[in-house]
Amino acid sequence: MPLHLDLISTLKDMFGRIDNARPSHARGVFVTGSFTPTDEAKEWSIAPHFSSPSTPVIARFSLFTGIPNIPATDPNANPHGLAVRFLIGDDVKTDIICQSSTVFPANTGEGVLAFFSNYRDGTVEEYAKDHPEALPFMQEDRKFPKNFGTQSFYSINAFKFINAAGKSVFIRYRWVPLSGRQFLTQSELEAKGPNFLFDELPGVFAQGPISFKLVAQVAGEGDITDNCNEIWPEDRQLVELGMLTLTKVTDKEALPPQKNSIVYNAMPGVPGIEPSDDPVLAARARVYPTSGETRRAAEPEN
């Protein structure tokens, strides 16, 4: 079986074979807003959304696992996801897909498959003894945010920026919350309902937009760009690329029908941004569209 199909099948073994749900990050909510670049952004990349005054976006906050009704208070719902689609125009679009964790279970598609296969089979603790690279993901202290907009999100994979002069650098994205990182205490979490991140979101927007700075961490000399678990030092240059301003939960009527449901793309697909040679990125680029085709072909929800 091809790797991307094996990955999807293994995730569905773990979380349930629900054709109209994503195999991972199944529970989510779409929100809309806009992205405004900084003046500096276009000096780093010729990507169109870095030179346009403003670009509309449709984003999706999500919870981990392929369980569509997983409680927001469940520890397995972490890490959270943030996928942002930039609607550049004339059917041109590009996506940035991030998660609230800085680490991943493995640094190859085959390694990710092995990790989740052992997780499914209840042997992941034994697996980790021989694969210590999985331990940071397994042992990460994942706090619960006050709302989706009070945590940072990270691209994990690296991408290549190319500017008008042809100069290129590798970067990793970060979404940094303008409100600062704010998390619940254990007692606050225990007082929350199972759907609090979703139920409270309209009230959060009623107080004002949820905003994130888009920041690029620039690789330094010798930094590894094709291994998502090689964390770059924090003293690397950080470049502010723009502001994401999310203003409301997207009405269901404003979303495309299931046969045209939104499928975020791990590959940039626009000039000025290219993928790195990270094999995990290559695997994600096969998993997402295949999963999307299955969802689009599934029976619609009632």
Q: Is residue 119 part of a domain?
A: no
Domains of the chain: total: 1
Q: Is residue 159 part of a domain?
A: yes
Q: Is residue 217 part of a domain?
A: yes
Question: Which tens digits make up the pLDDT trace of 100-119?
Answer: 999 999 999 999 999 999 99
For position 251, what pLDDT does the model report?
A: 82
- The whole domain housing 182 covers 3-103+140-297
Q: Is residue 115 part of a domain?
A: no
For position 180, what pLDDT does the model report?
A: 97
Q: Is residue 228 part of a domain?
A: yes
Q: Is residue 153 part of a domain?
A: yes
Cα–Cα dist 278/12, whole Å: 24
Angle made by CA atoms 91, 96, 97, in degrees to the nearest 5: 125
Beta strands 168-177 and 153-154, pairing class:
antiparallel
For position 286, what pLDDT does the model report?
A: 95
For position 56, what pLDDT does the model report?
A: 96
Residues of the chain where predicted confidence (pLDDT) is lower than 70: 299-302
Q: Is residue 214 part of a domain?
A: yes
For position 200, what pLDDT does the model report?
A: 98
Closest CA to 247 of 213, 212, 197, 205: 205
Q: Is residue 134 part of a domain?
A: no
For position 301, what pLDDT does the model report?
A: 56
CATH code of the domain covering residue 207: 2.40.180.10
Angle subtended by helix axes 279-297 and 109-121, to nearest 10: 60
